[in-house]
Structure 1
Amino acid sequence: MPTVHPVATPPAPGDPSAPAVGAATALLDAYRPGARFLATPTRTLLADGVRTVVPTGDSPLADRVRAALADAVRDGDPWPVVMGAVPFDHEAPAALVVPASVHDGPPLGTDPLVALDPTAPVTGGWSVTPVPRPEEYAGGVAAAVRRMRAGELDKVVLSRTLELLSPEPLDLPSMLGRLARRDPGGYTFALPTGPGRTLLGASPELLVSRRGNRFVANPLAGSTPRSADLAEDVLRAATLLRSEKDLHEHGVVVDAVRRAMAPYCSELHVPERPTLVRTATMWHLSTTVTAVADDPELCALGMATALHPTPAVCGTPTDTARRVIEETEPFDRGFFTGVVGWQDASGDGEWVVTIRCAEAQDRRLRLFAGAGVVAGSDPEAETAETAAKFRTFLQAVGAEL
């Protein structure tokens, strides 16, 4: 029977009880390649082994997950969870499992030890190849802008990659530790996605979470790089809040989230204006959407699949944006701009947009970054935005563009 090791019960939002010091960082430090790690603002999960692989099939993914969890409950598992990743392409197979054992701890952001400086990466030695080259990416953005001005679509998210080759074996635990400690209040993950492959990253964006019949979505769209100079950093944040281009881009995404959630919800609250979310490297426009579901059986992943992909990672209209992505990007996104997360047998869980991430295999890392392109986009500015987004991972491994 699978074993659950509760390190500490995560407090409910607003609960002043303090979790044990070191409980969350102990799970972070215990991660080893092949395990599954996920840190969110509500809990830290470290899982080992595989009890059940969620199978492929024609039935909805959420139904297959529900069946796998129900089997685990019947076998006597007191708290089975599914963990893993869903790809950008909804027709591609997911990498979801019910682990053999799960260690459940409090959030990293509540652990004072997360503030300790991580081991610095060894710099140098990386071979870095951009795919496509920056000028080719800018050309793709310019072509997409022309199609928008011709009325073909409203928005598309175009991405590029960096292929990194290390002279030494990859130290995934150290990379994960640096990612988590830089943004402990976000969503940090390391998840196997195939033989010898690991998806790891630190995403700022919650696609949707469920607790009881209450759902929360937090779309992010519209970004600007942080500055090391405090005055300049504040100016950039204020400018982002007033940017017509970024507010339009953000509004497209929020409206799509509202329309996707509305058929399932008796109550839906969407703030009129966005706020700001910051990471170590970026400012983002952010809107927190809250809803109450009509159907108590609607699970977190069920709502996530209804939302995915949002215009924050694809575009609008969705089918047209997908076609432009396929025609423009010279690579398969795989799990990038997909979804990572967890869900338990009650249907509660958290599913996160898979950005600020890389795929690791052997001595190679493939980094991904994208930018939302609208009719008012400047190709050079969008290229610079993707370069800024690469910084999250580049700094974690000691590499440079």
Structure 2
Amino acid sequence: MTTSLLHRADFVWGDPAHSFCLVDAEQISRDRPFRQQAEAARRRLAFRDDDAVIAGAAPFDPDSAGVLWVGTPRPFTVVRAAAANRSPKAGQVEQRWETRALTPEADFIASVGKALRQIQLGVLDKVVLSRAVEVVGQVDIDLDRLLGRLAEDSSALSFAFRDGDRRFMGASPEVLVSKRGSVVESGPLAGSAARRGDVRDDINAVQALLNSPKDLAEHAFVAEGISDRLRQAGKVAIDGPHLLETAFIWHLKSTVRADLDPSESRDSLAFAELLHPTAAVCGLPGETARQFIREVEARDRGFYTGYVGWQNKRGDGDWRIILRAANVYARSAILDVGAGVVRGSEPASEYAETALKLRPMLQALGASADI
């Protein structure tokens, strides 16, 4: 994949088993909420006589517009781009970064304190709070190199899409919906622990995570919430929680599988709309948590904690929750990161968790992880 192709691409999907891009695809108008965009995209796809797909991303707020395209996939291998762009090109100026918090530490910690008071009063069971960081470079960001570095993480799936004058790029470890025929699966992540530099310390961290009442309760909120929604479509089973290992963090992960009823006709995008937002990115009760987020978070999340993916004419497709991602401009990037607050959470620990979750994207950019 050449630099010029990445700059021209509307959408890039980095699944090693099914990687593709869309170039010069038909974009659905953004003058309507995402659900209406999805309906328009389905109608467009139905008229295509080739192997076209719907691809794009939904924002965190279901009432806002996302980005969707209908186009014919062009295959390529993202990993090959990673191998070719691991080091700066000959003669390229080394990037230097300035980093600043768009959400001050004190503001985030205060928001966690407010959430804990609402949990104590019984208003909330869980809420996910986010903060934002901006990194500014001295030279243009090498998009190919960034995508290549993101693709090197085997625990996550890399993606990129065009959003006006910027690119939204990331590598998500969390499956919102994967649909193949009469089977729908979701892979929620909730509950986490930092990786350690020492093997013994890592083992102790894993044991503590697997036996943590706080983390197990947080995970159960998410997995059971997804299971409850999918039961309307078929027989549901939960496998987990198990451990998901990433470079910097351990996650508790479950697989929620629904074997669909013969009468069930919804496609993968409809199931994504059904499940979003899960308690992994919003909270419980859902609408109460969403309103609390609106009140305490100074920034609109935009695509962060929305979902990204694709769907074919059969209605099969894959949709990932947008995590470990950034709005990428010519010489700057804005990163969002969050943590789930439940009974027993500690504000300073939740802030430290967000710092840990920033590290994959900061490392991919080559910026300092100390923020």
5 Å-filtered alignment, 1:2-401, equals 27=1, 32-35=6-9, 36-40=11-15, 42-53=17-28, 56-57=31-32, 60-72=36-48, 76-77=49-50, 79-99=51-71, 101-104=72-75, 118-119=86-87, 125-181=96-152, 183-193=153-163, 195-265=164-234, 267-271=235-239, 273-294=240-261, 295-400=263-368, 401=370
Say if 2:57 and 2:68, in contact at 8 Å, map to a contact too: yes
Offset from partner CA, 1:272-307 (integer Å, 9 cap, x none): x40011122211100001112224521000000000
Cα distance between partner residues in 2 of 1:323 and 1:332: 12
User: In the aligned structure 2, how far is the partner of 1:161 from the partner of 1:345?
Assistant: 37
Q: In the alignment, is the contact (CA less than 8 A) between 1:145 and 1:373 conserved in 2? A: yes
Letter in 1 for 2:116: V
Offset, 1:269: 1.0
**Cα distance in 1, alignment partners of residues 202 and 60 from structure 2:** 32
Change (3 A) 1:138 1:57: closer
Q: Quote the Cα distance in structure 2 between the aligned partners of 1:28 and 1:237.
A: 41
Identity %: 37
CA pair 300-67 structure 1, distance change in 2 beyond 3 A:
same
Could you say which residue in structure 2 is the equivalent of 1:23?
A: none
- Stretches of structure 2 lacking an aligned partner (at least 5 in a row): none
TM-score of the superposition, structure 2-length normalised? 0.91
Q: Deviations over 1:151-177 (max 9, x none)?
A: 111000000010111111111111110
Secondary structure of the corresponding residue to residue 250 of structure 2: strand
Tell me, in whole angstroms, the C-alpha distance in 2 between the residues paired with 1:120 and 1:229. Answer: 31
From the superposition, tell whether residues 116 and 97 of structure 1 become closer, same or farther in structure 2 (CA, over 3 Å): closer
Kindly tell me the number of residue pairs found equivalent between the two proteins.
Answer: 363
Consecutive unaligned residues of structure 1, counting only runs of 5 or more, are: 1-26
Secondary structure, counterpart of 1:355 in structure 2: coil
Question: Does structure 2 retain, via aligned residues, the 8 Å contact 1:209–1:216?
Answer: yes
CA contact (8 A) 2:82 2:148 kept: no
User: In the alignment, which residue of structure 2 is the partner of 1:24?
Assistant: none
The CA deviation at 1:28 is 8.5
In structure 2, relative to structure 1, the CA distance for the partners of 1:381 and 1:116 (3 Å cut) is: farther
* 342-351 or 228-237, larger mean C-alpha shift: 228-237
Once residues 333 and 45 of structure 2 are traced to their aligned partners in structure 1, the CA distance between those partners, rounded to angstroms, is 33
Using the alignment, how far apart are the partners of 2:347 and 2:27 within structure 1? 45
In structure 2, give the amino acid aligned to 1:97.
W
Q: 2-side partners of 1:136 and 1:64: how far apart?
A: 40
The question of whether the paired residues in 1 share the 8 Å contact of 2:187 and 2:254 is answered with yes
Distance 2:365 2:207 in 1: 31
Deviation (angstroms), 1:229: 2.2
